[in-house]
Amino acid sequence: MDPRGGDREQQARYFAPRAVLDGAALTDAQEQLAWAVLEVVLLAGLPPYDIEAAADGQETGVALVPESRRRLRVQWQQAPQARCLPSELCDVQQAAMNQALRAILSAHRFQIADAPLGEAPLVLGLTRSGR
């Protein structure tokens, strides 16, 4: 399947298992949440993390980390080149992207756990009706 082809829903379903860091398995509830999160990520023009591309050094994108049985942490994976920057700058960039992800997901009515703004958002569920 060409990940650039099809609509956002098809692309989200394609990338959901590939966007999970460390290739961890998703529960059914997490998979449904991953589809919805990745649709919004794609709508915002952000690339999903792709574990297969990461093996070739292309690690940049929005990654998913399963937490508990129903939640997903959504975090930005910086380009490998960012490792050459001072750690303070990397930390600021990471916090800014996490804050942007929090704002995007909140705007699309995802329920996000309370946490400091720079922390990767923990998505608890979807509070919007429909798509």
pLDDT given at position 30: 97
Alpha helices in 17-86 (DSSP H): 28-43, 51-54
- The residue ranges of DSSP E strands in the chain, in sequence order, are 61-67, 71-77, 110-112, 122-126
Q: Alpha-carbon distance 100 to 117, whole Å?
A: 9
Amino acid 56: pLDDT: 72
Average pLDDT by stretches of 10, the chain with 131 residues? 70 94 91 97 94 75 94 91 85 93 96 92 82 49
Structure pTM?
0.87
